Amino acid sequence: MYQALYRKWRPKTFDEVVGQEHITRTLKKQVETGRLSHAYLFVGTRGTGKTTCARILAKAVNCENPQNGNPCGKCASCRAIDEGTALDIVEMDAASNSKVEDVRSLREEVIYSPASLRKRVYIIDEVHMLSNSAFNALLKIMEEPPEHLMFILATTELNKVPATILSRCQKHSFKRIETSLISDQLMKIASAEGFMLQSDAATLLGRLSEGGMRDAISLLDQCSSAGTITTDTVYDVLGLAGNREIVSALKCIKEGKTQKAIEDFNRLWSNGKDPAAFLTDLTALIRDVLLLKIAPGVSESILSSSCNVSELREFADSMEKAELIKDAGLLEKSLGIMKTDKNPKTEAELCLISLCEDVGTVKKTESVPLSCDVKHEIKQEKRLTVTDAPENSEVLSNGKADIVFTDETRKEVKEEEQRDLEDPWEQIKAIFMPGLKQSARSIFDNSRFVPEIKGNSLVLNVTDDFLYGQLNRTEITDAISSAASRVLGREISASVTKDGASNSSVHNIKELSRFPEVKFI
């Protein structure tokens, strides 16, 4: 008969338990020194080793020849417990035995000495499911426990266990097992079982199991019929093939391939994929990429999408933080609209178009200096038409030909620059804004500034103190200067003014005139 992998690989000693050393160390010590408690409470999410440790503890306290606190696994007691024939080890699942009668009968039973073992151990799984009266009956036993009795309670929901029970138990908290520990264990099992398991696939299985070893081993079991277990095998076997589609959608967004994104989405939709679920999966993927971008050393266990980590890292390396944040915002907005929208498919398509086209505009801005150079040259050609150099003019060299500026042409050029500025300003913004902090970005998003060009300087005039304080910062003016220099094709120095005052000290001196004792001469 086929034995499920997770049963076959269930730890038989404390030393074999993975990722809960803080608990197994203490329990081993207690077995060694004989300083045992009458009642233990094991708390933790599913599959983290609570029941396994309860069984090992039950064996260890009854073992005839314990090894450093571990059960020997060979003596008659150990064998009887392993085979499930030991009458003194009673496992109850409170989820199915929550009736008070069961605990009452337990009360009658507990007074008798163990039949064959040293200690009678009651393991009550999902103890929070007991009814109040069952809890009260249990409490009565725990108040005056006979020497031969031990309770090991396990729960996934600590807050549902009455304080009166809690106070009588020694509590141990089981952690979610780290992804790397789970994948190492899966590699070990695979090699012992003769499976070809790729390490990427082991990591993916580890992440999918969310810190539970039992689930991870069960997932490996499901994939084990494949010749070589790759991440694709995992996606296929576990019905997660859609993840590849999500990864492909993000590739389209990154590369601005709108048509492919829409076609792919329509194919998924025809196969029954819910548009909101599609966008939610995409959001989870972008969140993960963003996390890896912001904190490259982040633990893989906090990643939420079920995508391959190396693919996530590739995205993180090739995508801009600002772009990812913007994409996440667009997705969130569309998901909000979908809640009330009668045509979620259209909304998903519109969202995909904005996501893909968005990249297009970022790419366009990268070529902005080139198009501006062209504009600039057109202007220069115009200037070159002034061939005579009248009085009150200056002659500049652009390296190709002498350009003659007259007052008239200067004025003309200035007006022309002013007219063009509204458009270049959008281009300048597109370059410097992604590098700004969110708070500064939102000022530019929400306020309409029309900067003024004075010679080689670009001046942003604001009307209130708050905006002035927010924008008159070196990191912002430097970013604007460098973006404007790129867009306008010459060295530009940006500054911020408030109500026409060029700097804050001038403003402060002006304010002094409000006091009668201050007189400006």
Contact positions toward Zn ion, by CB under 5 A? 63, 71-72, 75, 78
How far is the C-alpha of 480 from the C-alpha of 105, rounded, in Å?
79
CB of 121 to Zn ion, least distance (A): 14
User: Counting beta carbons within 10 angstroms of the beta carbon of residue 474, is it exposed (0 to 12), middle (13 to 18) or buried (19 or more)?
Assistant: exposed
Kindly tell me which of 75 and 226 has the beta carbon lying closer to Zn ion: 75
With b meaning 16 or more CB within 10 Å and e meaning fewer, what string describes 296-312? Answer: eeeebbebebbbbbebb
Question: How many CB atoms lie under 10 A from the CB of residue 44?
Answer: 23
> SS3 of 43, please?
strand
Return the axis-axis angle of helices 368-384 and 344-366, rounded to nearest 10°.
Answer: 50
How far is the C-alpha of 235 from the C-alpha of 230, rounded, in Å?
9
Residues forming beta bridges with residue 92, ordered by sequence position: 124
CB of 112 to Zn ion, least distance (A): 23
Kindly tell me which of 75 and 325 has the beta carbon lying closer to Zn ion: 75
Kindly tell me which of 63 and 368 has the beta carbon lying closer to Zn ion: 63
Kindly tell me which of 76 and 450 has the beta carbon lying closer to Zn ion: 76
How far is the C-alpha of 258 from the C-alpha of 236, rounded, in Å?
27
Kindly tell me which of 116 and 228 has the beta carbon lying closer to Zn ion: 116
CB of 17 to Zn ion, least distance (A): 17
Rounded alpha-carbon distances, angstroms, from residue 236 to 222, 267, 297, 381? 11, 17, 29, 63
Kindly tell me which of 72 and 100 has the beta carbon lying closer to Zn ion: 72
Kindly tell me which of 71 and 344 has the beta carbon lying closer to Zn ion: 71
CB of 33 to Zn ion, least distance (A): 18
CB of 58 to Zn ion, least distance (A): 11
Of 303, 27, 250, nearest to 150 (Cα)? Answer: 27
CB of 41 to Zn ion, least distance (A): 25
CB of 164 to Zn ion, least distance (A): 35
With beta carbons less than 8 A apart as the criterion, state whether 440 and 434 touch: no
